[in-house]
Chain A
Amino acid sequence: MSDMSFPLVTATAVLPALGAVATAAVPAARRTVAKWLALAVSLGTLVLAGWVLAAFDAGGERYQLTESYAWIADFGVRYEVGVDGIAAALIALTALLIPFIIAAGWHDAEPDPDGEGADAGRRWRPTQGFFALILMVEAMVIISFAATDVFVFYIFFEAMLIPMYFLIGGFGDRAHAAGEAEGAKQRSYAAVKFLLYNLAGGLIMLAAVIGLYVVTADQLPAGTFSLQQIAEARASGELEMATNTERLLFLGFFLAFAVKAPLWPLHTWLPNAMGESTAPVAVLITAVVDKVGTFAMLRFCLGLFPEASAWATPVVIVLALVSIVYGALLAVGQRDIKRLVAYASISHFGFIILGIFAMTSQGQSGATLYMVFHGISTAALMLVAGFLISRRGSRLIADYGGVQKVAPVLAGTFLIGGLATLSLPGLAPFVSEFLVLVGTFSRYPAAGIVATAGIVLAAIYVLLLYQRTMTGPVDKPEIARMPDLRPRELAVVAPLIALLIFLGVFPKPLTDIVNPAVEHTLSDVRETDPEPELPAVEATE
Chain B
Amino acid sequence: MSATTLSGAAAAEPVHSLWTVAAEAPSIEYAQLSPTLIVLGAAVVGILVEAFAPRRARYGVQVALASLGFAGAFAAVLALAMGGYATDKAAVAGVGAVAVDGPALFLQGVILLVALVAVFTFAERRLEPRAGGGPVDSFAAQPAAVPGGEGEKAAVKAGWTTTEIFPLLLFAVGGMLLFPAANDLLTLFIALEVFSLPLYLLCALARRRRLLSQEAAVKYFLLGAFSSAFLIFGIALLYGYAGTVSYAGIAEVVEGTVPSPGPALAASMSSDALLLVGGAMVVMGLLFKVGAVPFHMWTPDVYQGAPTPVTGFMAAATKVAAFGALLRLLYVVLPGLRWDWEPVLWGVAIVSMLLGAVVAITQTDVKRLLAYSSIAHAGFILAGVVATSPEGVSSVLFYLLAYSFVTLGAFSVVTLVRDAGGEATHLSKWAGLGRRSPLVAAVFAVFLLAFAGIPLTSGFAGKFAVFKAAAEGGAGALVVVGVIASAIAAFFYVRVIVLMFFSEPSPEGPTVAIPSAFTTVAIGVGVAVTLVLGVAPQYFLDLAGQAGVFVR
Residues on A facing B (Cβ under 8 Å): 70-75, 116, 120, 123-125, 154-156, 158-159, 161-162, 165-166, 169-170, 181, 184, 187-188, 191-192, 195-196, 199-200, 203-204, 206-207, 210-211, 213-214, 217
Contacts and interface: CB of A to CB of B under 8 A. Distances in A.
Contacts of A162: 449, 454
B75 interface: no
A206 B502 contact: no
A120 B454 contact: no
Contacts of A73: 538, 541
Nearest to A180: B504
Interface in B412-437: 435-437
A207 B472 CA distance: 12
Contact of B541 (A72, A196, A211): A72
A111 B449 CA distance: 26
B468 interface: yes
B545 A74 contact: yes
A188 B503 contact: yes
A188 B502 contact: yes
A195 B468 contact: no
A203 B460 CA distance: 11
A71 B438 CA distance: 32
A116 B435 contact: yes
A156 B483 contact: no
Q: Is the interface of B mostly helix, strand, loop or mixed?
A: helix
Contact of A125 (B438, B472, B494, B536): B438
Contact of B501 (A71, A74, A170, A196): A170
B352 to A, nearest CB: 18
B487 A199 contact: yes
Contacts of A74: 465, 537-538, 541-542, 545
Contact of A159 (B456, B471, B472, B538): B456
19 contacts: A75-B468, A120-B435, A120-B505, A124-B435, A156-B455, A159-B454, A159-B456, A161-B454, A162-B449, A162-B454, A166-B501, A184-B502, A184-B503, A188-B503, A195-B490, A200-B487, A204-B483, A206-B467, A207-B467
Contacts of B461: 72
A203 B479 contact: no
B239 interface: no
A191 B505 CA distance: 18
A132 to B, nearest CB: 12
Contacts of B84: none
Given A74-B541, A192-B495, A196-B494, A210 B479 contact: yes
Contacts of B455: 154-156, 158-159
Given A72-B537, A200-B490, 13 more contacts: A70-B538, A73-B541, A120-B435, A124-B436, A156-B455, A159-B454, A166-B501, A169-B501, A196-B491, A203-B484, A203-B486, A211-B471, A214-B468
A207 B479 CA distance: 7
Interface string B481-493: 0011011001100
B504 A184 contact: yes
B502 A170 contact: yes
B527 to A, nearest CB: 15
Contacts of A184: 502-504
Interface residues of B, number: 41
B341 interface: no
B214 to A, nearest CB: 38
A169 B491 CA distance: 15
Shortest Cβ-Cβ A-B pairs, 9 listed: A155-B455, A74-B541, A188-B502, A200-B487, A207-B483, A203-B483, A159-B455, A158-B455, A169-B502
Most buried by A among B438, B467, B468: B468
A195 B542 CA distance: 33
Contacts of A188: 498, 502-503
A47 B455 CA distance: 29
B344 to A, nearest CB: 23
Contacts of B518: none
Interface in B482-528: 483-484, 486-487, 490-491, 494-495, 498, 501-505
Contacts of B454: 158-159, 161-162
Contacts of B479: 207, 210-211
Contacts of B467: 206-207, 210
A74 B391 CA distance: 10
B487 A195 contact: no
A136 to B, nearest CB: 11
B233 interface: no
Contacts of A195: 490, 494
B490 A196 contact: yes
A292 to B, nearest CB: 14
A161 B493 CA distance: 14
Nearest to B395: A74
Most buried by B among A70, A72, A166: A72
Contacts of B261: none
Interface string B450-483: 0010111000110011011001100010011001
A337 to B, nearest CB: 23
A165 B536 CA distance: 25
Contacts of A75: 464-465, 468, 541
A241 to B, nearest CB: 14
B249 to A, nearest CB: 34
B383 to A, nearest CB: 11
Nearest to A116: B435
Contacts of B495: 192
Contacts of B486: 203, 206
Given A158-B454, A162-B449, A206-B464, A199 B541 contact: no
B435 A213 contact: no
Contacts of B490: 195-196, 199-200, 203
B512 to A, nearest CB: 10
A223 to B, nearest CB: 8
